[in-house]
Amino acid sequence: MTQLFIPKNYNRLLDLTQTEKAIKLVKDTFQENLSSELRLRRVTAPLFVLKGTGINDDLNGVERKVAFPIKDMGDNIAEVVNSLAKWKRLALADYEIEQGYGIYTDMNAVRPDEELTNIHSLYVDQWDWERVIKPEERNLDFLKYIVNKIYEALKRTEYVIYENYEQILPILPDKITFIHSEELLAEYPGLSPKERELEAVKKYGAVFVIGIGGKIGNGEPHDGRAPDYDDWSSPTINGYKGLNGDIILWNPILESAFEISSMGIRVDKTVLLRQLEITNTLDRKELLFHKRLLNNQLPESIGGGLGQSRICMYFLRKAHIGEIQSSIWPQHIIDECKKNNIVFV
Q: Is 113 a catalytic residue?
A: no
Helix (H, G, I), strand (E, B) or coil at 216: coil
In the set 83, 121, 126, 325, the catalytic residue is 126
Among 125, 246, 268, 300, the active-site one is 246
Active-site residue 111, yes or no?
yes
Is 275 among the catalytic positions?
Answer: no
Nearest to 326 by CA among 6, 5, 20: 20
As a whole number of angstroms, the distance between CA 37 and CA 77 comes to: 38
Q: Is 231 designated active site?
A: no
308 classed as catalytic: no
Q: Which of 233, 234, 256, 262 is catalytic?
A: 262
Among 31, 79, 83, 111, the one annotated catalytic: 111
Q: Is there a contact between 250 and 257 (Cβ–Cβ < 8 Å)?
A: yes
Q: Is 181 exposed, middle or buried (0-12, 13-18, 19+ CB in 10 A)?
A: buried
Inter-residue contact 275 to 221 (CB < 8 Å): no
Q: Which of 223, 259, 268, 323 is catalytic?
A: 259
Give the C-alpha separation, 310 to 27, whole Å: 11
Angle at the Cα of 145 (from 210 to 256), degrees rounded to 5? 45
Catalytic annotation present for 15: no
Question: By C-alpha distance, which of 99, 175, 110, 90 is closest to 138?
Answer: 99
Catalytic residues: 57, 111, 126, 246, 259, 262
